[in-house]
């Protein structure tokens, strides 16, 4: 039994070392605009949302170490795909209204920011007042 555990452990270590050589795209495409929102709302969005929902991602040091690099890049890509504040001005009015409705729901129900994001990014935690601020902005036409 001991030999098998050592072999499995060695294989895991080798796999982790080899995973470091798998390239992961961590890019920040050019900015194209921001949502029309009061400065106070933009400041909260930038602090709590932009790492995953804009082209202004601040990539942490551990985003360069596998397997975290795979997970973080995937989360950012999915976040940008769902909502990208950097492309907000390219959205048509119908899409903007739909996205604002989703923002109000997700933030209002405390589904955003994601629960597993805030322990490593405590500045992304939203107070009740900040949630209300975002929800009220998102409910405006």
Q: Residue by residue, what is the 3-state secondary structure of the chain?
A: CHHHHHHHHHHHHHHHHHHCCCCCCCCCCCCCCCCCCCHHHHHHHHHHCHHHHCCCCCCCHHHHCCCHHHHHHHHHHHHHHHCCHHHHHHCCHHHHHHHHHHHHHHHHCCCCCCCCCCCCCHHHCCCHHHHHHHHHHHHCC
Asked whether residue 11 is assigned to any structural domain, the reply reads no
In a domain? residue 2: no
- Reference 52, options 90, 91, 26, 84; nearest CA is 84
Q: 71-82: per-residue pLDDT in tens?
A: 899 999 999 999
For 108: left if phi > 0, alpha if psi spans -120 to 50, otherwise beta; the answer is alpha
Q: What's the pLDDT at 15? A: 59
| pLDDT at residue 64 in the model | 87
Q: How far apart are CA 118 and CA 61, in angstroms?
A: 16
- How distant is the alpha carbon of residue 123 from its chain centre? 13
As a whole number of angstroms, the distance between CA 114 and CA 103 comes to 13
How many folded domains does the chain comprise?
1
- For 67-111, write each residue's pLDDT tens digit: 888 889 999 999 999 999 999 999 999 999 999 999 999 999 999
pLDDT at 28: 72
What pLDDT does 14 receive?
A: 67
Answer yes or no: is 14 within a domain.
Answer: no
pTM (predicted TM-score): 0.80
Higher pLDDT, 3 or 44: 44
Q: Is residue 3 part of a domain?
A: no
Owning domain of residue 42: 26-139
> Is residue 40 included in any domain, yes or no?
yes
Residue 5 inside a domain? The answer is no
């Amino acid at each position: 039994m001991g030999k098998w555990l050592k072999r499995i452990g060695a294989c895991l270590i080798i796999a982790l070392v080899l995973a470091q050589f798998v390239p992961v795209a961590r890019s920040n495409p050019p900015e194209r605009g921001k949502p029309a929102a009061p400065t106070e709302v933009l400041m909260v969005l930038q602090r709590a949302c932009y790492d995953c929902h804009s082209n202004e991602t601040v990539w942490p040091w551990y985003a360069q170490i596998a397997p975290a690099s795979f997970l973080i890049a995937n989360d950012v890509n999915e976040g940008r795909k769902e909502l990208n504040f950097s492309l907000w001005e390219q959205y048509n009015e119908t899409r903007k209204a739909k996205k604002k409705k989703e923002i109000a729901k997700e933030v209002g129900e405390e589904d955003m920011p994601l629960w597993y994001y805030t322990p490593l990014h405590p500045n992304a935690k939203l107070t009740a007042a900040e949630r209300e601020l975002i929800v009220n902005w998102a409910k405006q036409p």
